[in-house]
Structure 1
């Protein structure tokens, strides 16, 4: 069995261009996508893009009646971590493994 022929320089350049276009389309799709993260108690919801850009934080007014600052802070942190995990999962589907940091 003979080895497969090596790709030409032009074929390698074209393969690189195709990969770059595919990556660009995936990034654009992730930038348009919205993911959510919800706290365990459901009082806080975070919306972010698939690339991890924070878009909104929604807080259920019931948390103000409780006046529990520590619980609210924890709920916000939980929902941000959940949104980041959901963005990373979506990015993994579109682009392969990725690390997402909300900013």
Structure 2
């Protein structure tokens, strides 16, 4: 059983369709918002689905303790969590990319 190779026009059309799917996914990710939260819940980061930082929200409670190191750690945790959520969203939108060479 031999598989028939696609024609040049079929390959061009498949390439265009793939490019359009990528553009649609990118546009969707640009408008999506993901969040990241510190372990203690004092800092929340909002980012786009592409990982662009949009906002940082800090609980007023952190100013009562005046623990700079804890605040720095909370910000770092939140940014990392938002980045991980952006990666997960991108994988969901883009799925597995399969390339077949003939």
What TM-score does the superposition give when structure 2 sets the normalisation length? 0.91
CA distance in 1, matches of 2:85, 2:94: 14
Matches within 5 A, 1:1-103: 1=1, 3-96=2-95
Unaligned runs of 5+ in 2: 97-102
CA deviation after TM superposition for structure 1 residue 46, in Å: 0.0
CA deviation after TM superposition for structure 1 residue 96, in Å: 3.4
What TM-score does the superposition give when structure 1 sets the normalisation length? 0.91
CA distance in 1, matches of 2:61, 2:8: 63
Aligned to 2:100: none
4+ runs deviating over 3 angstroms: none
Unaligned runs of 5+ in 1: 98-103
